[in-house]
Amino acid sequence: MDLKKEANCLLPKIARLTASKIKDSQDQLNQISWHKGESNTDLEFSELAKEKCIESFNEINTNKNLSLEVKVPDLLLIFKKGNVRENFKIELKSTKSNDGSVPGSMIMTLDPNMWTIFCLRKNDEFHIRYGRYYLGMSRGSHDLFQDRSPRPRLQFENYQNIAEEPILKETTVDKSFYKHYAKSAVNRVLNPKGRGSWQDDLVKEIIRIVITDQEKFKDI
């Protein structure tokens, strides 16, 4: 078996076992200095995940010619067999938000099939789930724009419990979400739900401009 195929066979098992080992490390998780707010992956969480990832590989791997190096932040897995190397990434996410969601990663450079480990922090307890990135993507009818580029939020509950066998199915999801967010913006204007946003006022102004000067926009 070539290295890429071998690594792809190991990755789901490594992701699941790493998630399980992280869940069993409640004391270590409690000692982490988590960033305030929703920033990118916390470095101390990455270091803990790296430690558990290497442990998992050593438990699962049966090929003496195969080795693994792991770098952070997130987890960059470098599989090595002789002079051949293959790189893979396990995305790390964490949040303490009440709804268990976190902003998604930059969608245009994202592999929606990569494995992801998600930590939900509630008081002094840490809940861990895992799965392919796309499983956590959440899209609603009234979504707000996000900064940088349109990308769905990730929902903790959408990921797999560590007791579940990994879902291996891959997706060919279209990573262009402009139409979705355009429809959501119109929905918020025509059928508002909950608290308003400055984005709604912006959309209203855009609609007014287009209606006022329809001729200018007819060929867009």
CA dihedral sign of residues 21, 24, 29, 35: positive
- What are the residues facing 69 on neighbouring strands? 78
Find the helix packing angle between 178-190 and 198-212, rounded to 10°.
Answer: 90
Fill in the amino acid letter for 57. Answer: F
* Lookup: tokens for 210: 């287009």
Q: Cα–Cα distance between 173 and 120 in angstroms, integer?
A: 25
At 108-117, the pLDDT tens digits run 567 889 999 9
Q: What is the pLDDT of residue 107?
A: 59
At 173-184, the pLDDT tens digits run 665 666 766 776
CA distances to 39, 41, 95 from 36, in Å: 8, 11, 10
Which H or E run contains 119?
Answer: strand 115-122
Q: Residues 121, 100: contact at Cβ < 8 Å?
A: no
- Whether the bond into 103 is cis, omega within 30 of 0: no
Q: Cα–Cα distance between 189 and 200 in angstroms, integer?
A: 6
Q: What is the pLDDT of residue 81?
A: 95
Q: What is the pLDDT of residue 144?
A: 59
Q: Cα–Cα distance between 180 and 152 in angstroms, integer?
A: 10
**What is the block-wise mean pLDDT of the chain (220 residues), using blocks of 10 residues?**
93 98 97 66 89 98 96 95 96 91 71 95 93 84 59 90 97 69 73 75 80 79
Q: What is the pLDDT of residue 213?
A: 81
Q: What is the pLDDT of residue 145?
A: 66
Q: What is the pLDDT of residue 152?
A: 78
Q: Residues 90, 75: contact at Cβ < 8 Å?
A: yes
HEC string for the chain:
CCHHHHHHHHHHHHHHHHHHHHHCCHHHHHCCCCCCCCCCCCHHHHHHHHHHHHHHHHHHCCCCCEEEEEECCCEEEEEEECCEEEEEEEEEEEECCCCCEECCCCHHHCCCCCEEEEEEEECCEEEEEEEEHHHHEECCCCCCCCCCCCCCEEEHHHCEECCCCCCCCCCCCCCCCHHHHHHHHHHHHHCCCCCCCHHHHHHHHHHHHHHHCHHHHCCC
